Amino acid sequence: DHVILCGYGRSGAIAADEIVARGQPLDRIVAIDQSEERIRLAAEAGLIGLRGDADSEALLGLACVDRAKAVLVTAGRDDTTILVVLTVRHLAPDTRIVASIREEENIKLARLSGADTVISPPRIGGYLLADAIGTAHAAPFLCDLMSAAGKVELHERPAAEADIGKRMAEVGGGIVVQIHSQGRDIPFSERERYIVQRGDTLLLITVPKEA
């Protein structure tokens, strides 16, 4: 149940901090990077550092990629990221793969290569720049929502026994903002109508428990 970071640049290092803040032990995070400097930083942070190419089958084998909880691929260049995704998927058919992609046209290629989730920081940067024209509070709120620190959290959990049969708007323990039911997304706009079913997955805004 370790997490492998393929690439320990800025996003990779922040992801590591964030995973630790969510309870993953430091020594159950493996960072793979070509740069000696970055591997030194990873080791100083308490992670397991492996220097080399993240598309090397030998190195991924050493990192026990087939038994990892998740592999986060943020190699900086899209061509490298996609090659790493292909290699990881080949070695580990069931491991969760998340890829960070820069160019719009490569997002679908990363999905085709086997990534379960693809994120695009330049796209999100563009959204937040546009948001910030009209509001001073949206960007800080969104950052809080995304990160373990702060005053709000975005949290996913299966529907509990107590939730079943309630309207989306009536579920307690936070505000349900989306429900995933039998492969379909039930949007926030349905919150007064949709009745929670057994097996649904709820996405909620919650308040973190006091430290």
Footprint of a copy of itself (CB under 8 A): 3, 9-19, 22, 69-70, 72, 74, 96, 98, 100, 102-104, 116-117, 119, 121-139, 141-143, 145-148, 151-152, 154, 156, 175, 177-178, 180, 185, 187-189, 201, 203, 205, 207
Residue 210 CB, nearest distance to a copy of itself (Å)?
10
Of positions 18, 116, 131, 144, contacts Ca ion by CB under 5 A: 144
CB-wise, 157 or 198, nearer to a copy of itself? 157
Residue 22 tokens read as: 């969510």
The residue assigned the tokens 């509001």 is 135
Which one, 131 or 144, has the nearer CB to Ca ion? 144
- Taking CB within 5 to 8 Å according to partner kind, which of a copy of itself, Ca ion, none is near residue 117? a copy of itself
| Distant-in-sequence, close-in-space partners of 90: CB < 8 Å, separation ≥ 6 | 57
Contacts of 44 (CB under 8 A, 6+ apart): none
- Residue of 1, 168, 44 lying closest to 177 (CA atoms): 168
Q: Does 150 bind Ca ion (CB under 5 A)?
A: yes
Min. distance of Cβ 151 from Ca ion in angstroms? 7
Residue nearest to Ca ion (CB): 150
Binding status of residue 190 toward Ca ion by CB under 5 A? no
Amino acid at position 120, single letter: S
Which range in 49-57, 72-80, 151-159, 161-169 contacts Ca ion by CB under 5 A?
Answer: 151-159
Tokens of 23: 């309870």
Amino acid residing at 108: K
Q: How far is residue 125's CA from residue 9's CA, in Å, rounded to a whole number? A: 17
Supply the DSSP string of 178-208, one letter for each residue.
EEEETTEEEEGGGTTTPBP-TT-EEEEEEPP
Q: Is 18 in the site for Ca ion (CB under 5 A)?
A: no
**Angstrom distance (rounded) from CA 16 to CA 4:** 10
Question: Given the rule CB under 5 A, which of 42-50, 72-80, 140-148, 184-192 is the region that contacts Ca ion?
Answer: 140-148
Residues of this chain that bind Ca ion (CB under 5 A): 144, 147, 150, 153
